[in-house]
Structure 1
Amino acid sequence: MEGQNQIPILCVVGARPNFMKIAPIMRVFNREDNNFSAKLLHTGQHYDQSMKVSFFDQLNIPEPDIDLGVGSGTHAVQTAEVMKKFEPVLDTIQPKMVLVVGDVNSTLACALVAVKKGVPVIHVEAGLRSNDRSMPEEINRILTDQISDLLFITEESARQNLVKEGVCEHKIHFVGNVMIDTLLHNLECATPVESILTNVNNRFKEYGLVTLHRPSNVDDPKVLSSLVETLLNISKDLKLVFPVHPRTLKQLQLYDLLQVLEQSDIQMLPPLGYLEMLGLMRSAKVVLTDSGGIQEETTALGVPCITLRDSTERPITLTEGTNVLVGSNPKCIREAFDSVITTGGKSGRIPEFWDGRAAERIVEVIHEWVRQAKI
């Protein structure tokens, strides 16, 4: 129930990676003993009915109070459309603060509108840096951090990045990783592998999981062809399961690579919901991916991860976790895979504060910040 003394806060999501980050935060905000009235706004940057079922419903995220319905477009068009549609909503709701998560276009767009209207911005998952400005997400991260009033970080290296960029230390708070809050909260509900894969048998007790969607990997025909060839080679030694991202499917069709995969032993699947992916990750012998979030999730699960990128904004998965960085070079990929097969891969450890309570710490800090600032 909304009380007279509750503080209005507007939380923003826009794309799949945001959903897993906002779920535990909304869960804490919705407790009866907190002093916030939290509304959820979905920009519609990525949205369809199947996504609603597989992410919002599975994660028990409340139905968004506002859906801007922006849809797809170029980075410039999408960012501009979010800003245009977000401003009148901000004027109507008049929240005391806006909370954004991650690094998608919606994150930057809503943060820009809020700060220009004099509304404080809170950024969850701040300070991560790949040091590769060819990635749109890197630009979103840097700019959002520069205009945020509260910055919540998942690892201490993020603090160093922010201080180096001139962010005042008193704005930075190390709270842990809300992605891991969601993972631990849902682990017991993860879909069993047997319910996902149609041909589970004695020969198929071990498998590797593959995800690909980064433009650097799927938009260049030479890179994508090389990766497909490498995966085909690996699949001779270990069964591979490959849920295919819509962007990747389009490129595989464009470059005449889809039929090659369909005729191979690689089991291709349509995009999966969170609980299905969690089930596949938990039981995989190895994960080959270019996803940022999966690097963190595999570290939390103790599953070896081979990241098909030249850089990562999540270095703690390399220094403390189960992740190795190999780029798209076939020789490096194969060597990392062979290491997993022969030695079991990196064992790693769970990083500090990846304990399922990051959202609680975030809300505690916001509450104290509000009290001191007398918002």
Structure 2
Amino acid sequence: MKKIITVIGARPQFIKASVVSQALKQLSSIKEIIVHTGQHFDENMSNIFFNELNIPKPDYQLNINGKSHGKMTGEMLASIEDIILQEQPDALMVYGDTNSTLAGALAAAKLHVPVIHIEAGLRSFNMKMPEEINRILTDQISAILFCPTQTAIDNLQAEGFTDKEILIELSGDVMQDSAMYFKQFVKQPQIENLPANNFILATLHRAENTDNIQRLQQIVHALNTIHKTIAPVVLPLHPRTRNVLAKENIPLEVCVIEPVGYLEMIWLLDHCQLVLTDSGGVQKEAFFFKKPCVTMRDQTEWVELIEVGANQLAGADSKVIIDAVNNMLNRTISDPNELYGGGKASANIAQFISQHI
């Protein structure tokens, strides 16, 4: 039996791992060992996912969080290296673009353990984003790259990956698998006076926005204006964003709620009018639930959503954000060409792994 170590540590990775782990369980030839770095340590953003999504409890819990990028990545690398030496896996699998992703990949590559990267090939072309650095470096040291879209494969080809001894596979996007599967288990969050289908769902957490006070002020002004003049804005507020707003005394006049579990989040996605976000994953989730999206960033990895008219980039200018919301609000979103694989990504990934490790 082959053995794989899976490294996860942040909210999107829990969601992706839930469906891939289910697919791997159906193969008697693979044993999966889960390492949770602890990068997200808030109860609503960590343990709740294991409970809700039936992800197996981690075999290793590292509890590394609340430190600088360098300290977190370094401590994770050292701890994961110890686990690899103890477990002697046939491969190590990582998701996305977090510090946990890079630490896992580096630890494995230095010990000559093949790295499997799910959600490979994505590029925002903004090197100021820590996530961009993580995803580029992880792709460079991986042995198997599972790409969610043709755009991701095109990015790798442009970077010369076709000349490397590496396996590149168009798998589809496991986030769509999760959305389709878990929609049947959704839970309505307890929010007072929430209109049934007449609200805008917002998320705000990315460092390029929260660490730049001018950008943050512009975004909050837009959110407040939209809430008062267009439609109620419901914002599950990330703890780090809440702390910055309090420190800088920036008034947020929208419907602020605590971070929600994934099943509550997809209820909100399913019932909102529009999604307003700076998250990469939420852009796609809006599309999966056929909701128009406005992205408060200057670039996006998911360029195909811009191309099909499902998403509009608005940066951090309050007027541009408000105009984009008005432009996108009543747009009809469809997916006739199964842009992200139609919910078959996890099965594709599990089958490919079983044949190539």
TM-score, normalization: structure 1? 0.90
CA distance in 2: counterparts of 1:18 and 1:180, whole angstroms: 13
Which SS does the other structure have where 1:365 is aligned?
Answer: helix
Paired residue type of 2:249: D
CA distance in 2: counterparts of 1:347 and 1:92, whole angstroms: 49
Identity, % of aligned pairs? 38
Quote the residue 1:252 is aligned against: 245
Give how far 1:249 is off: 0.1
- Bigger mean CA deviation after superposition, 37-46 or 287-296: 37-46
Alignment of 1:155 onto 2:149:
yes
Quote the residue 1:173 is aligned against: 169
CA distance in 2: counterparts of 1:336 and 1:49, whole angstroms: 34
Alignment of 1:217 onto 2:212:
no
RMSD: 1.6
- Identify which of 27, 33, 58 aligns with 2:22: 27
Quote the residue 1:3 is aligned against: none
Paired residue type of 2:20: I
CA distance in 2: counterparts of 1:280 and 1:369, whole angstroms: 39
Quote the residue 1:126 is aligned against: 120
Aligned residues: 353
Which SS does the other structure have where 2:299 is aligned?
Answer: coil
Quote the residue 1:9 is aligned against: 4
Give how far 1:52 is off: 4.0
Which SS does the other structure have where 2:208 is aligned?
Answer: helix
Quote the residue 1:38 is aligned against: 32
Alignment of 1:206 onto 2:201:
no
Structure 2 spans left out of the alignment, 5+ residues: none
Paired residue type of 1:303: K
Decide whether aligned partners of structure 1 residues 316 and 118 sit closer, same or farther in structure 2, where only a CA change above 3 A counts: same
Q: Deviations over 1:89-125 (max 9, x none)?
A: 1100000100111100111111111111010010000
Which SS does the other structure have where 1:232 is aligned?
Answer: helix
Alignment of 1:290 onto 2:278:
yes
Give how far 1:226 is off: 1.6
Paired residue type of 1:328: A
* Correspondence list, 1:1-375, <5 A: 6-31=1-26, 33-168=27-162, 171-192=167-188, 195-200=189-194, 205-236=197-228, 237-257=230-250, 260-261=251-252, 264=253, 266-320=254-308, 322-341=310-329, 344-345=330-331, 347-349=333-335, 351-370=338-357
Which SS does the other structure have where 2:161 is aligned?
Answer: coil
- Bigger mean CA deviation after superposition, 68-77 or 48-57: 48-57
Contact 1:14–1:106 under 8 Å retained in 2? yes
Which SS does the other structure have where 1:123 is aligned?
Answer: strand
CA distance in 1: counterparts of 2:309 and 2:267, whole angstroms: 19
Q: Deviations over 1:148-206 (max 9, x none)?
A: 000000000111111121213761100100111111110111123xx4321136xx640
Which SS does the other structure have where 1:288 is aligned?
Answer: strand
Give how far 1:72 is off: 2.1
Paired residue type of 2:232: K
TM-score, normalization: structure 2? 0.95
Contact 1:12–1:98 under 8 Å retained in 2? yes
Paired residue type of 2:248: Y
Decide whether aligned partners of structure 1 residues 48 and 331 sit closer, same or farther in structure 2, where only a CA change above 3 A counts: closer
CA distance in 2: counterparts of 1:221 and 1:144, whole angstroms: 30
Q: Deviations over 1:64-84 (max 9, x none)?
A: 011112122111111100011
Give how far 1:348 is off: 4.2
Which SS does the other structure have where 1:168 is aligned?
Answer: helix
Structure 1 spans left out of the alignment, 5+ residues: 1-5, 371-375
Q: Choose 1 or 2 for highest CA Rg.
A: 1
Paired residue type of 1:337: V
